[in-house]
Structure 1
Amino acid sequence: MSDLILHHYPTSPFAEKIRLIFGFKQLAWHSVIIPMIMPKPDLTALTGGYRRTPVLQIGADIYCDTALICDVLEHIAPQPNTTLYPEAVKGVARIVAQWADSALFTAAMAYNFQPAGVAQVFAGAPAEAVQAFVADRGAMRGGAPRMAAADAAATYKSYLRRLANMLHGQDFLLGAQPCVADFAAYHPLWFTQDRTPALAGILDATPEVLGWMARMKAFGHGTSGKLSATDALHVVSRSTPAPLQADVFQDEHGIPLGTRVVIAADHFGQEPIEGELLAATRTRYTLRRTDERAGTVHVHFPRVGFTLKKAAP
């Protein structure tokens, strides 16, 4: 197995989700810091246009979206005591994680990015940097409005109470050990606590949540070393994508393997990624792409949350 390379930046909530899983599974990894906003030319060379954070690189295989990255890390380190998917709660863990990565994240971040939070996140940054970030995230939303701060606060408080109810009498959301749901629910709350502490008082009404956050934070980030984006591109250009597993082709679109296709997120960050469809399994898509800097790469996406269509002639 090639080294794990995470393309991320320190304040990214979704990157914190994966960094904490590295700690939970006690994995070693390389850290490549990417820009917070577009353009991201080195990342684009790997992904073909996907720009959400983080992205996991293993050799010449590029994994997009944290739901898929979680599955990949589980395959790499499947020990029973650090599984993300305990057998007894496997289905509900994925469902809660999907809710946390969407509904909880949306409410929490709308709350976090009210003026007091913005002032802390961008302390010392020039006004034009803040304006560029706001414009970038507006483009990622595709014109969809952001939840108003007052509505976000009310929704966030309700969600925190629900998490507290889940934690009553147990250390983690679904039992005595953490699962993927815990890591998905933790990262937007981490942003509130660590990145916008002026707003962290919202957590005080749910001491069960605060205790759980302390237990989660204690997992740490594993063992990491710095890597430049240039070195990461050297790794991929010298590597060959791993052989694809012999999973059954599941055709839901009438698009045969080998077709030029376009994949895009179904919301937030809908930049299209074009390539040759190599695999369409029950859970993921794989595209083959060639870039003059990266060479031939396999770019992997989860089915859930992404759309597939034929590329224009």
Structure 2
Amino acid sequence: MPDLILHHYPMSPFAEKARLMLGFKGLAWKSVFIPSVMPKPDVVALTGGYRRTPLLQIGADIYCDTALIATVLEHLKPPFAGPPQERQHPLGGPGEARVGGEVPVLFPEHLKGVTRIVAQWADSALFWAAMGHTLSPKGAAAMFGSQPPEVGQAFAADRSAMRNGMTGLRAGDAASAYRSYLRRLAHMLHEQPFLFGDTPCIADFAAYHPLWFTRVVNPAMAGILDATPGVLAWMDRMAALGHGQPAKFTSTEAIAVAAAAEPAPLADEAFQDDHGIPLGSRVTVAAESFGPETTEGTLLAATRTHYTLERTDERAGRVHVHFPRIGYVLKEVRA
């Protein structure tokens, strides 16, 4: 199996979600720091346009969005015990064998539906409430006050462009929602260490990262967490999972890895045609809301869970760029 390469930056909340999932799985990975604001030429060389953080690269395969990255990591160390078995490519195709044994799972079999639903809520409603509070005018002043004015101005302009007309919560409304959501998490944690029992699952990682941003990245705004001590104790347990085994890597090295590799074969999964766009068409994929940049390529797969586009870059070579279906818009490129 080629190295796992995570493209991220330290203060990114969604990157913290990915870093902790790598730690939970006990995985070794290459750490590539990328800019927090545009331009991001090395990122775009791999994705073709998508610029949200983080990205997971495996050879010449680029996985966008932590919802899909979680699925990929789950398949890399699948839950089974017994004799060695052939491991599948994260989205299909042959993989390597690994010795049987119990492995931490992100998606418990009997809770797959409800944990995904809670994770989707946490990555959206909870995330935006947390950001609205933590990056309120008061929060932004605390976070960027000690830096040159142009740093905060560049960050604000970049995120404003990414919102692309989204209606944001006002600071007071965000704080109200955030407090309510924290109480709901506290109720879920009553008499159990994690949201759905004795071990973390995808819902924990999705709920943790917006709170981490408040507590760790902008602690001046972290007083809102004090009313839910059970949530703070849970955050300590999550932080203790660590980040696995990262090793420093550069964007240049990562692009060279992609250029030297071939995308992994895709599984023969059913084509779910909800758009009337046949495979082999020239298409674009973009996020529904936050981060409007598009990736253009040839549609190779449109399964019930994900899209795969093939594209060629003069530096990265031929790559496959993968997106989850939920939260992304597929359009045909017409001449």
Superposition TM-score, scaled by structure 1 size? 0.98
List aligned pairs for 1:24-39, cutoff 5 A.
Answer: 24-39=24-39
List aligned pairs for 1:177-192, cutoff 5 A.
Answer: 177-192=199-214
Q: Which residue of 2 aligns with 1:95?
A: 117
List aligned pairs for 1:220-259, cutoff 5 A.
Answer: 220-259=242-281
Mapped contact 1:203–1:209 kept (Cα < 8 A):
yes
Q: Which residue of 2 aligns with 1:141?
A: 163
Q: CA deviation at 1:254?
A: 1.0
Read off the aligned partner of 1:195 and give its amino acid letter. Answer: V
Q: CA deviation at 1:143?
A: 1.9
List aligned pairs for 1:70-89, cutoff 5 A.
Answer: 70-79=70-79, 80-89=102-111
Q: Which residue of 1 aligns with 2:183?
A: 161
Equivalent-residue separation in structure 2 for 1:124 and 1:57 (angstroms): 34
Q: Which residue of 1 aligns with 2:93?
A: none
Equivalent-residue separation in structure 2 for 1:143 and 1:152 (angstroms): 18
Read off the aligned partner of 1:213 and give its amino acid letter. Answer: M
Distance change in 2, residues 1:281/1:156 (3 Å): same
Read off the aligned partner of 2:114 and give its amino acid letter. Answer: V
Q: Which residue of 2 aligns with 1:56?
A: 56
List aligned pairs for 1:268-279, cutoff 5 A.
Answer: 268-279=290-301
Q: CA deviation at 1:197?
A: 1.0
Read off the aligned partner of 2:239 and give its amino acid letter. Answer: K
Read off the aligned partner of 1:204 and give its amino acid letter. Answer: D
Read off the aligned partner of 1:185 and give its amino acid letter. Answer: A
Equivalent-residue separation in structure 1 for 2:237 and 2:36 (angstroms): 28
Q: CA deviation at 1:81?
A: 4.2
Equivalent-residue separation in structure 2 for 1:254 and 1:208 (angstroms): 49
For 1:195-246, what per-residue CA distance to the aligned partner results, in whole angstroms no more than 9, with x for missing partners? 1111111111111101110110000000101111111111000000000011
Q: Which residue of 2 aligns with 1:16?
A: 16
User: Structure 2: 5+ residue runs without aligned partners?
Assistant: 80-101
Q: CA deviation at 1:88?
A: 1.5
Q: CA deviation at 1:120?
A: 4.1
Mapped contact 1:120–1:195 kept (Cα < 8 A):
no
Equivalent-residue separation in structure 1 for 2:303 and 2:166 (angstroms): 31
Equivalent-residue separation in structure 2 for 1:11 and 1:129 (angstroms): 14
Superposition TM-score, scaled by structure 2 size? 0.92
Mapped contact 2:166–2:289 kept (Cα < 8 A):
no
Mapped contact 2:115–2:202 kept (Cα < 8 A):
yes
List aligned pairs for 1:263-302, cutoff 5 A.
Answer: 263-302=285-324
Equivalent-residue separation in structure 2 for 1:158 and 1:276 (angstroms): 44
Q: CA deviation at 1:249?
A: 1.1
Equivalent-residue separation in structure 1 for 2:111 and 2:190 (angstroms): 17
Equivalent-residue separation in structure 2 for 1:228 and 1:120 (angstroms): 31
SS at 1:298's partner residue? strand
Read off the aligned partner of 1:15 and give its amino acid letter. Answer: A
Equivalent-residue separation in structure 2 for 1:25 and 1:311 (angstroms): 39
Read off the aligned partner of 2:66 and give its amino acid letter. Answer: T
The sequence identity of aligned pairs, in percent, is 65
User: Structure 1: 5+ residue runs without aligned partners?
Assistant: none
Equivalent-residue separation in structure 2 for 1:116 and 1:226 (angstroms): 35
Equivalent-residue separation in structure 2 for 1:98 and 1:223 (angstroms): 27
For 1:6-53, what per-residue CA distance to the aligned partner results, in whole angstroms no more than 9, with x for missing partners? 000000000000000111111000111111111100000000000000
Q: Which residue of 1 aligns with 2:91?
A: none
- Dislocated runs of 4+, deviation >3 Å: none
Q: CA deviation at 1:193?
A: 0.7
Equivalent-residue separation in structure 2 for 1:121 and 1:5 (angstroms): 29
Equivalent-residue separation in structure 2 for 1:3 and 1:117 (angstroms): 38
Count matched residues. 313
Equivalent-residue separation in structure 2 for 1:102 and 1:143 (angstroms): 16
Root-mean-square deviation over aligned CA pairs: 1.0
Q: Which residue of 1 aligns with 2:238?
A: 216
